[in-house]
Amino acid sequence: MPNEHQKQYLWWQDGIIYQVYPRSFQDSNNDGIGDLRGIIRRLDYLKWLGVKAVWISPIYPSPMADFGYDISDYRNIWSPFGDLADFDDLLQQLHAADMRLILDLVPNHSSDEHPWFVESRSSRDNPKRDWYIWKDAKPDGSPPNNWLSVFGGSAWQWDETTKQYYYHAFLVKQPDLNWRNPEVVDAMLNIMRFWLDKGVDGFRVDAMWHMIKDSQWRDNPHNPEYKETMATYEKLLPVYSTDQPEMHEIAAKMRKVLDEYDERLMIAEIYLPVHRLVTYYGTHEKEAHLPFNFMLISLAWDPRLIAAAIDEYEAALSKDDWPNWVIGNHDQPRITSRVGAQQAKIAAILLLTLRGTPTLYYGDEISMRDVPIPEEEVQDPQGLNMPGKNLSRDPERTPMLWDSTNNAGFTDAQPWLRVDRAFHRRNVQVQKPNPLSALTLYKSLIDLRQTEPSLMTGAYTPVCSDHQMIAYIRQAEGHTGFLIVLNLTHRPCYFTPGTILFSGTIVIDTVPEQLGAKVRNKIDLSGDEGLVVRLEEWQSVSSNPSS
Ligand code: NOJ
């Protein structure tokens, strides 16, 4: 029973979020593409795993040029995924299981096949003309400025019919909406209400930092650190095309819509340095509850860098800002492919023991890897538009590996994207009973985290870090504390902190032989070992022995 002095936390603060990429989670009607009924079929698994909320990447009608991030109707379901009745069923069943549903909201752009854009491009004086961003060519016919598309090439597309350019931060088929037009703002806020009225528990807002652009349309400067291996978009620094001050008013308006309802959540997809990222919590007015923190994705796997980044983030948050952590999503190479299977277990411990809401990417819990997709089978536009740079996101979007049957239990048909050929030995069914598996580690971490207030919501205290290791303590007032020690290298390392005395029992360990071991004041770690110690006692000792 919580005592009356204990702070109450909201579901998105002490719960875990799980991202489902709907095309690849579970097919229920054998067309090779995952669907809503498939997700319903797997709710028992998600409940067993212990997650609180499911975030589903876009499920709306779409020509699928960017696999659903190009929406042609914001108020319906893409038919291969199901229909609104399936959606209501999914929502109802999630709620019945005491879980929540987060939808992807894509407000920065629509599909060029959305009726709004079809109207907008039909003539210069169409009432929807100003819903998108249209500009005249420069006198020599070239685009209005040098801005680049994230997916390669210029961000401006010439329209022969009306003889103007339109702006697309992503694909030509994803024209940007004009968020300086109040009609666009109203339309999108009403779309949010449509889904909130149905009972969805929140949104993950796509590309929030792109939504408002410089009012003077100035050229972006060149990036002095650009290298040929990077995406062409990175040739310029997007200082005028993203992260504009006016965006905060819009974010506050979106937040107000959520606050018309009970306990709804706004997550914002934002790739910015920490000091810019935290401004999206809102300074004058409330904005996102959780601006996604991608630090563990962006940083090199170096304990000193990571320890410093954790401190930088903790320091940048104000008292009311709730932290969050992510190690994978549908746009980034999987953690197992970035750091290897052994270190991916260390990443799992980090993700599930740092302070703040963790977001898991489907399949990371069974250490799914990026699957090599032959060049001729690449479907992701990022890969197709910038060939030769290995930038396709298909490898991290392959079907979930459930069991050892046909296509890993994902479908009986030809799957839309190749299934990992190692699925016989790497799948949920094989890993569940195996005490050494990634899934068993995830499950133990989640169980521990969700029963221990110190790990769920307790304070973060750094202990030490060096070229091999990171160590920290999590403790909630009045509760048993936990010491986490992680070796980010393959060689043994020695945890002998000068700054604390402690004793306790190892309750999680990537080296299972150590489970239950008593430790006191120092720990010798094997290569790739990460562990969690339930502390019996601990105290700081002064670094100055004479004081
Ligand atoms: C970010 C999404 O996560 C990504 O998948 C998509 O391609 C772009 N935004 C454009 O919507």
What would the pLDDT profile of 444-489 be if each residue is shown by its tens digit?
999 999 999 999 999 999 999 999 999 999 999 999 999 999 999 9
Structure tokens at 14: 């002490």
Out of 83, 186, 246, 260, which one is annotated catalytic?
Answer: 260
In the residue annotation, 260 being an active-site residue is answered as yes
Q: Quick one: pLDDT band at residue 173, thresholds 50, 70, 90? A: very high
pLDDT of residue 7: 76
Give the nearest ligand 1 atom to 381 CA.
7
458-540: what fold? Immunoglobulin-like (2.60.40)
Q: Whose CA is nearest to atom 2 of ligand 1?
A: 206
Structure tokens at 36: 């809503």
pLDDT of residue 542: 76
- 56: closest CA among 78, 72, 73? 78
Structure tokens at 295: 């630090």
The sheet with strand 156-159 has its strands ordered as 134-135, 164-167, 156-159
150 CA distance to ligand 1 centroid (A)?
Answer: 10
- pLDDT tens for 341-395 read 999 999 999 999 999 999 999 999 999 999 999 999 999 999 999 999 999 999 9
57 CA distance to ligand 1 centroid (A)?
Answer: 9
Distances (CA, A) of 234 to 170, 238, 240, 324: 13, 8, 14, 26
Mutate to test the pocket of ligand 1, among 109, 112, 172, 206 (most ligand atoms within 8 A of CB): 206
486 CA distance to ligand 1 centroid (A)?
Answer: 32
Taking the model in full, what pTM does it have? 0.97
pLDDT of residue 2: 47
* DSSP 8-class letter at 280: G
115-167: what fold? Oligo-1,6-glucosidase; domain 2 (3.90.400)
331 CA distance to ligand 1 centroid (A)?
Answer: 7
pLDDT of residue 4: 42
Average pLDDT over residues 404-423: 98
Strands 523-525 and 518-520: unpaired
In the residue annotation, 206 being an active-site residue is answered as yes
- Are the CB atoms for 22 and 399 separated by under 8 Å? no
For residue 531, the surrounding DSSP H or E stretch is strand 530-540
pLDDT of residue 544: 57
439 CA distance to ligand 1 centroid (A)?
Answer: 28
CA distance 355 to 314: 9
- pLDDT tens for 180-205 read 999 999 999 999 999 999 999 999 99
pLDDT of residue 218: 98
Q: What's the mean pLDDT when you consider all of the chain?
A: 97
CA distance 471 to 486: 6
Mutate to test the pocket of ligand 1, among 55, 69, 72, 211 (most ligand atoms within 8 A of CB): 69
Is residue 531 predicted with pLDDT exceeding 90? yes
499 CA distance to ligand 1 centroid (A)?
Answer: 44
Q: Where are the domain boundaries for CATH 3.90.400.10 in the chain?
A: 115-167
Ligand 1: residues within 6 Å at CB?
66, 69, 106, 170, 206-207, 269, 330-331
Q: Whose CA is nearest to atom 5 of ligand 1?
A: 331
Q: Where are the domain boundaries for CATH 2.60.40.1180 in the chain?
A: 458-540
CA distance 417 to 398: 6
Mutate to test the pocket of ligand 1, among 170, 386, 394 (most ligand atoms within 8 A of CB): 170
Is residue 237 predicted with pLDDT exceeding 80? yes
Give the nearest ligand 1 atom to 57 CA.
3
What angle is formed at CA 56 by the lines to CA 50 and CA 58, rounded to 5 degrees? 175
